[in-house]
Structure 1
């Protein structure tokens, strides 16, 4: 962050607090039960995503471009919930509401990076399905291992740079009044609004960020499925359409699981239909629940993964009984 500040200007003094106070989930009745639920969600998501990654790594038949993206999604889900849930439990369950300034910005960086990558990874999977269905004869040429590795790597680089810029701009703010963040984590929007100097660049980032990581990916995914539907109606038989749509089932559920709660929470919050405490709880659920359900969806709805799990289980059983 010192390098960022020196690049933007020298001899400028900013008033940075020693700590922020995270106060989003305080004062809610029976909230302890919700913390127990979050802990359960975290444990199941860790186990589920670890199993998915292990199955993809161990089964050579799953080392395809599609499952490179699935592996990355499982890793991001695991990393994202690990960055968020233990810290949330530490803050609210054990009363460690004071979080040092630099730790808060680090917390923000990891949370926003993982949330962004979850969204972008669904774009990678939608592109894979679109090419597989619309251009099946060219799939092996268009979607190669090299392409998928490069695409995912570019998503990581873009996301890290974008989030670093948003965090870097926060270091240009001075805080001379409240340091209480009314959220469950170090929320970018909550932080820049506490500043007592000009926060217009951070405001612009806050406006652009949802468009880049939420609305544009969602628009691409919806358009890809409209294209798939249009193509299938024109050239495919009823049986071929059903077969093609079955290959998209898991991805459609993943998309609905990730985007619909975000859309609902944001619309309700903008329209003031939801209490601030309910909004915060809904936000934690929209962040953590997809990481819980994604491995379950892929395990139950994808025949390739189920067959790989069965094969690995039989192999393990055979070795143990030999």
Structure 2
């Protein structure tokens, strides 16, 4: 940013703007959660001083921060889908409603898998006897499943892309079909 101000150009490249915006928003989000955690720390220290050592353990702090990071986006996602549902209910044709539900269903599946496994992994640290293997499996599902589903959700649902993929696979030696 300082280099841009110093050289006084009239434009900023897209990559520089994107990088600056990313770091600004990411660091502001982190700062917000740090301030939230500090406020909770002060609340417990002042309002419940005898419970402070029990409430402010590393397992409780990480659970609180982790669930906060999950719950805020989840709340906004649910709010947007409530609005979508209200709009879908206003569609008069059943074909239009079916298309709208079909468009959202795969995304809702990915959201559900991601948030449920993530919450499960966070909560499993508070449950004694939970195996490390189950936590690792949950973490793998939470990180890999949405990334694997994105091409299906956003690409293969488009007829032109499906046709192009089928044409490419038919030409290849992997899936030879009728040419």
TM-score, normalised to structure 1, is 0.32
Q: Which residue of 2 aligns with 1:252?
A: 108
Stretches of structure 2 that go unaligned for 5 or more consecutive residues are 1-16, 34-55, 173-179
> Greater Rg, structure 1 or structure 2?
2
Cα separation, 2, equivalents of 1:236 and 1:218: 29
Larger RCO: 1 or 2 (CA < 8 Å, sep 6+): 1
Cα separation, 1, equivalents of 2:68 and 2:164: 38
Change (3 A) 1:157 1:250: farther
Report the Cα offset of residue 229 of structure 1.
1.2
Report the Cα offset of residue 227 of structure 1.
1.5
Q: Deviations over 1:38-57 (max 9, x none)?
A: xxxxxxxxxxxxxxxxxxxx
- The answer (yes or no) to whether the contact 1:250–1:298 under 8 Å persists in 2 is no
Give yes or no for the alignment of 1:309 onto 2:165.
yes
Cα separation, 2, equivalents of 1:152 and 1:242: 40
- The answer (yes or no) to whether the contact 1:265–1:282 under 8 Å persists in 2 is yes
Q: Deviations over 1:177-225 (max 9, x none)?
A: xxxxxxxxxxxxxxxxxxxxxx99xx9787445423x211111111211
Q: Given the alignment, which residue of 182, 204, 211 partners 2:68? A: 211
Q: Deviations over 1:105-146 (max 9, x none)?
A: xxxxxxxxxxxxxxxxxxxxxxxxxxxxxxxxxxxxxxxxxx
Q: Which residue of 2 aligns with 1:227?
A: 83
Report the Cα offset of residue 302 of structure 1.
4.4
Report the Cα offset of residue 257 of structure 1.
3.3
Give yes or no for the alignment of 1:278 onto 2:158.
no
Report the Cα offset of residue 237 of structure 1.
2.6
Change (3 A) 1:155 1:237: farther
Change (3 A) 1:296 1:231: closer
Q: Given the alignment, which residue of 240, 243, 256 partners 2:96? A: 240
Q: Which residue of 1 aligns with 2:119?
A: 263
Report the Cα offset of residue 226 of structure 1.
1.5
Cα separation, 2, equivalents of 1:233 and 1:151: 38
Cα separation, 2, equivalents of 1:242 and 1:152: 40
Describe the SS at the equivalent of 1:270.
coil
Q: Given the alignment, which residue of 20, 26, 29 partners 1:159? A: 26
Q: Which residue of 1 aligns with 2:53?
A: none
Report the Cα offset of residue 159 of structure 1.
2.2
Q: Which residue of 1 aligns with 2:148?
A: 292
The RMSD of aligned alpha carbons is 4.2
Stretches of structure 1 that go unaligned for 5 or more consecutive residues are 1-149, 167-198, 318-322
